[in-house]
Chains A and B, each alone.
Chain A
Amino acid sequence: MISFLIYHFTHRTVAHCAVMLQAIKKVVPVVHCCLSCLLLVCVLGGCAQQDEFERDQVGNFEALWTIMDEHYSFFDYKQVDWNEVHSRYRALVSNEMTDRELFDVCGDMLKELRDGHTNLIASHDVSRYWVWEQWPVNYNERLIDQHYLNFDYKRASGIKYQILPDNFGYMYYGSFSSVIGEGNLDLILSYLSTADGLIIDVRDNGGGYLTNVETLVSRFIGEKTLAGYICHKTGKGHNDLSEPYAYYFEPTKNHIHYLKPVVVLASRGSFSATNNFVSIMKSLGQVTIVGDTTGGGCGLPFTSELPNGWRVRFSSCPIMDAQGRLTEFGVAPDVRVDMDEDDHTHDAILDTAIGILARATAPPRLPRRGNSAPPHHSDN
């Protein structure tokens, strides 16, 4: 019985193998042809391999330097000799250093660019060159809340607003990352429409989305307005930049606009998108900029990464103001004022803005008749 089973099993298996071999023989030319095509794919795939850096410390340093060399847009504007920077910092790098040591060297190298938009981002730290850390803050939220708003204010879309006792509207917008809803803005401007003038406070606003700049600016223009110019890197060379492209903002249709006198309050902490907002508002006739020079940051940042997973952010697309000037180092105010750090009840910048609006909205004086004596006091 057992021998019969063994015979039967062997016989069937051999028969099956023979049939399969016959089938395989027939298939071989077709399979050969197909595999040849697939081999071609692999060869072509191999030909198109990218230039990648080693994942060791030196490789990561070289990757960082190369990414900046090929993508950063302000080398010539800032007169930075990037090759010289490479030779200086390359001497400090070896494969034996720890990640933290490498990070510090790379972070220091990036600081040579003096750019608040340039950061090296690792799991343990973020390198930065934040210019506003070196200047007076010129903003005290608590002081305004307590002594000007009496803790009585409205808040919508990240905007704090109220009408001050002098009948001037006040808006504080702390981050352009807070999305402004058109409906919210209608309600805010509707509430402030009875005010004789408006103060827009963007001090200590570190930026955010440029689309919010357009949303806000569009409420303060009466016609299509040149906002500025934008360009971008077109290749790996330091001067491979596109022709500046003029871009315009238009008044938002079917929404509330505010065309009375406006004062924008700025500080060194007004960076990136806020810097862009101030530069555009400065070009409008009814707007006065008061406070300190903005923090700059006119390069739209891109992000790239190193083989070890660290990310690097850098200025890539320069944005110019309506006069075609770069504002990388900030927008100067029309009226320069600093807060007195020892005065905890008055905001000198806000007081200056109120004074400017008071003068701008005061009724014109009638010409005097005769030689009457001058008044003893002025209402200025």
Chain B
Amino acid sequence: MKKLNIICFISHAVARSIMLLTVLMALPLGAAAQDDVLVVTPTRSMFTLDIGYASIHDSYLTPITYDGIDLELAYEASRLCKQGHWQWQLNVGADYNYVENPAKNNDLQKVMGNLSFAMQHRWANAVGGKVSLSVGPMTQLRAGIVYNAVNSNNPVTVRAHWNVGAAANADFFTRLGRKPITLRYRLQLPMVGAFFAPEYDESYYEIYLGNHRNLAHLGWWGNRFDMTHYLGAEVRLGGTIVSLGYRTRFEHWHVNNLKVHDVTHAVVIGIGADLITSHH
């Protein structure tokens, strides 16, 4: 009983913190007008932690595929727009991979930052009120480095991508026993964009000297493919939403005779809240 109280206390404290943060962010909107009808719009605000498996192949650094652990911390927020037919979705996160070669005598480390924003059309109460679907355009910025400590003049490679594409959500509302539960599937599918890649054996020293030819590339499904899937379940514990899911990210590109092929599979633990903000 004591343990349960502590858990409840912690979950409420986290929920209150998230709520305060989001209310502060949304305050200017609420204060904009005084005379209109008050519209209450919940903002889904979640912090997630991914823990799982990563596989990295980057032919600029090594011809060998490395594998190891994947960690990611992210913040997700989504909110319905005024009419309720559209919603925006924001994701900010950072992921870290520590992977080893099959011989277990060398490692790579990858650190990436991720920012994406999607505007989705929403069909609520589809399929007899049990399903909510949303689909729309998305833009994504991912940037970071992959580092190989033992290489001589190719110890690091920079990853930088900007993409536009589609993002989709499917929420299925059901019960597990007497407990309401939401099963959620989420897809991020970049389609076109721009990305950075050095030439085949071009050193970053040469780039530093000023040779910037052929570094920026148009990305499309012919040379770059990237998608992220998430499948999870959400339950409410008081005012707190707790989620457990699985996320996989697949990233492949080939340009300048270089190949990158990264895959992650991770268990995702999330905690957050539906925060009530209002606008007129």
Task: Give residues in A with beta carbon < 8 Å to B.
Answer: 16, 19-20, 23, 26-27, 30-31, 33-34, 37-38, 41, 44-45, 48-50, 52, 55, 63, 67, 71, 73, 123, 210-211, 230, 232-236, 240, 242, 245, 247, 300-305, 307-309, 311, 313, 316-317
Contacts and interface: CB of A to CB of B under 8 A. Distances in A.
A31 B65 CA distance: 31
B201 A34 contact: no
A30 B127 CA distance: 11
Closest 10 CB pairs of A and B: A309-B103, A233-B201, A303-B151, A309-B105, A245-B211, A247-B209, A232-B202, A34-B185, A316-B201, A303-B152
A242 B214 CA distance: 11
A48 B229 contact: no
Contacts of A45: 250, 261, 263
Given A27-B172, A27-B174, A247-B209, 9 more contacts: A20-B177, A34-B170, A44-B250, A234-B201, A236-B257, A301-B153, A303-B150, A303-B153, A317-B202
B199 A234 contact: yes
16 contacts: A26-B130, A27-B172, A41-B227, A49-B261, A50-B59, A67-B63, A71-B201, A236-B257, A300-B153, A303-B150, A304-B63, A309-B102, A309-B105, A311-B106, A311-B150, A313-B152
B168 to A, nearest CB: 10
B277 interface: no
Interface in B215-251: 225, 227, 229, 231, 248, 250
Contacts of A73: 201
Contact of B106 (A19, A20, A305): A305
Given A50-B57, A63-B63, A305-B62, A235 B257 contact: yes
Given A30-B131, A50-B57, A309-B103, A19 B177 contact: yes
B4 interface: no
Interface residues of B, number: 52
B200 interface: yes
Given A232-B203, A236-B257, A52 B263 contact: no
B89 to A, nearest CB: 18
B36 interface: no
Nearest to B201: A233
B106, B177, B203, B261: which has the most chain A beta carbons within 10 Å? B203
B231 to A, nearest CB: 5
A44 B202 contact: no
A210 B102 CA distance: 33
Contacts of B210: 245, 247
Contacts of A234: 199-202, 256-257
Contacts of A16: 177
A159 to B, nearest CB: 22
B63 A55 contact: no
B103 A26 contact: no
Interface string B75-89: 000000000000000
A49, A63, A232, A247: which has the most chain B beta carbons within 10 Å? A232
A86 to B, nearest CB: 17
Nearest to A63: B63
Interface in B81-132: 101-106, 130-131
A298 B33 CA distance: 69
B252 interface: yes
A33 B131 CA distance: 13
B205 A305 contact: no
Nearest to A30: B172
A38 B185 CA distance: 11
Contacts of A63: 63
B174 A44 contact: no
A272 to B, nearest CB: 10
A63 B231 CA distance: 40
A71 B63 CA distance: 11
A259 to B, nearest CB: 24
Contact of A303 (B131, B154, B229, B257): B154
Given A27-B183, A230-B211, A316-B153, A33 B261 contact: no
